[in-house]
Structure 1
Amino acid sequence: MSETLKAVQDMADEAPVTDVTATFVQWQDLLAELKEKISARFELLPDPSTKELESFGEDGGPRGSLTGFSGPEIDWMIHSWVGDPEHGFVNLHLTVWLGPHIRVPHLGLALLCWPGGWFYLDSVPRTSLVADGAYYDRYYAPAEERWLAVREEYEDLSWFTSRTGFIRGSLSPTAYCYSMPRDDRHIALVRQLMHEQVDRWLTWVDAAEPVPVEEQEALAATDLAIRRNIVERDPANVMAVRYFGEQVTDRLVRALWGGDRALPRPS
């Protein structure tokens, strides 16, 4: 298995201009399916702070869509995309950050064309996996066999190593973070892995024990700090600056972590 060490902007700049609309549509359909599964389980409301971001940019050029959601059990959910698919770049996200009533890992999903394919999926831990072995055994150990099997079987996957150490440190031991060919075989793999991840995550939510009330405030503060740090330190933000400028990018970044949210956080 190979390794991708180049930054996102370098991959986009060095590749020939390529229309990736067909893959973009497949990625959109996949995230819509997963969002539908999640919406069927949780009560969710769109946050008014992201209303103006549901469609931005210009047709035929850089553009995007971002909607934030919240609910009694969901602290912050983002369904978004940004890019210029006709010219080879698009970045899509579906991330779900749970409320502090349970300690189930958060759900992180992302898809990208630059113009090659890329995907990320992870269970974002809410405790130190090294310190809390029982948490690791419950949520991560069962995924090890599948994770290793994918690495062994799909030789065209290329592990994506971020050039930012903070981002490398944010990945769990069973995260998927790969560059890949945009062919039917690999797109089918991504579809399967993401549906498996969401289905598994939903069973965790249903089986979770409640967090004691006196511990929830601290957990919520930690969750917010993790989310904000990951979003603000994401090196791919440079692509949004390139397309939309610093001011719009700052607003998009705040929306990704809920910095301008209007709905209250769940308690």
Structure 2
Amino acid sequence: MKETLQHVEQMVDESPVVDVTETFRQFEELLAELKAKVDGRFELARDPSTLALESYGNHPDGPGGRLAAYSGPEIDWMVHSWLGNPKASFANLHLTVWLGPQVKVPHLGIALLVWPEGWFYLDSVPRVHLMQDGDYYDRYYEPLNAGWLAVKEENPELEWFTSRAGFIRASLSPTAQCYSFPRAEKNIDLVRRLTHEHVDRWLGWVDEAEPVPGDERAALAASDLAIRRNIAERDPANVMGVRFFGQETTDRLVRGLWGGDRELPRPGAPR
């Protein structure tokens, strides 16, 4: 299997400038479908800190984006966002769901990218040290292993994406999907199938999860926040935000990804 080993900005700069609006729309539609499944299961409210980010930039005439974050009794922080310039080869879209500390189910991570080829990330972000908690691994990761191998073995057009940032490589679970691919319809269909299957499975995990003891929840919530903040702040793709919108706006967007400006209380926090 081939491998992509480039920074995002390298991928964009070394590719022809093409209009990828159609693929961007397909990815938008896919994330909307997935978000609707999450909305149907959880009580959620838009965090007021992200209302001003409903639309920024000057899309469709140039770079633009949207960032909406939500919280609720069972969800610490959910982000539904996009950033880019689809008419000039690039769009980055996210749907990430960080659960509250009432359960230890892995968090849900989905990202889609056009650069102008396709790219996707799909993962179950662990809440424990997998090498320490074998039961947790057996419950949430080992059942996905055969399917993970099948994706690698049966889809020769996919190129495994290896981040040049060691921290980002460390953030991937053993069953993370992280690939570049030609924007052929069959590959987009594969991404659609994998993401829908995973969201359905993840919702089942939530429904079946045992509650976390009350005296363990504060530590779990603190760990979740540290992981979320580190991933958001250390993402090498943040350079594209700086390129399009400058450092100040990018810093605000990054805070939106981890909840640095949040106004709604975290689940379980004193009101």
Which string of whole-angstrom CA distances, capped at 9 and with x for unpartnered residues, describes residues 95-123 of structure 1? 00000000000000000000010000000
Structure 1 residue 177 displacement after superposition: 0.4
CA–CA separation in structure 1 for the residues paired with 2:151 and 2:200: 18
Q: Which runs of 5+ in 1 are unaligned?
A: none
Partner of 1:95: 96
Specify the code of the residue in structure 1 equivalent to 2:15. A
CA–CA separation in structure 2 for the residues paired with 1:109 and 1:11: 20
CA–CA separation in structure 2 for the residues paired with 1:57 and 1:72: 32
TM-score normalised by L of structure 1? 1.00
Structure 1 residue 86 displacement after superposition: 0.3
Partner of 1:17: 17
Give the secondary structure class of the aligned counterpart of 1:266: coil
Give the secondary structure class of the aligned counterpart of 1:115: coil
Structure 1 residue 161 displacement after superposition: 0.4
CA–CA separation in structure 1 for the residues paired with 2:149 and 2:10: 29
Specify the code of the residue in structure 1 equivalent to 2:36. E
CA–CA separation in structure 2 for the residues paired with 1:168 and 1:259: 24
How is 1:219-258 mapped onto 2 (pairs within 5 angstroms)? 219-258=220-259
How is 1:157-172 mapped onto 2 (pairs within 5 angstroms)? 157-172=158-173
How is 1:102-251 mapped onto 2 (pairs within 5 angstroms)? 102-251=103-252
CA–CA separation in structure 1 for the residues paired with 2:168 and 2:111: 14
How is 1:46-57 mapped onto 2 (pairs within 5 angstroms)? 46-57=46-57
Moved over 2 A (4+): none
Which string of whole-angstrom CA distances, capped at 9 and with x for unpartnered residues, describes residues 168-216 of structure 1? 0000000000000100110000000000000000000000000000000
Q: Which runs of 5+ in 2 are unaligned?
A: none
CA–CA separation in structure 2 for the residues paired with 1:6 and 1:35: 30
CA–CA separation in structure 1 for the residues paired with 2:47 and 2:6: 35
Partner of 2:37: 37
Aligned Cα root-mean-square deviation (Å): 0.4
Give the secondary structure class of the aligned counterpart of 1:262: coil
Which string of whole-angstrom CA distances, capped at 9 and with x for unpartnered residues, describes residues 126-146 of structure 1? 001110000000000010111
Give the secondary structure class of the aligned counterpart of 2:246: helix
Give the secondary structure class of the aligned counterpart of 1:145: helix
Give the secondary structure class of the aligned counterpart of 2:116: coil
Structure 1 residue 92 displacement after superposition: 0.0
Identity in percent:
68
Structure 1 residue 20 displacement after superposition: 0.3
Structure 1 residue 263 displacement after superposition: 0.1
Structure 1 residue 159 displacement after superposition: 0.5
TM-score normalised by L of structure 2? 0.98
Specify the code of the residue in structure 2 equivalent to 1:174. T
CA–CA separation in structure 2 for the residues paired with 1:146 and 1:218: 33
Aligned residues: 267
Structure 1 residue 14 displacement after superposition: 0.6
Structure 1 residue 250 displacement after superposition: 0.3
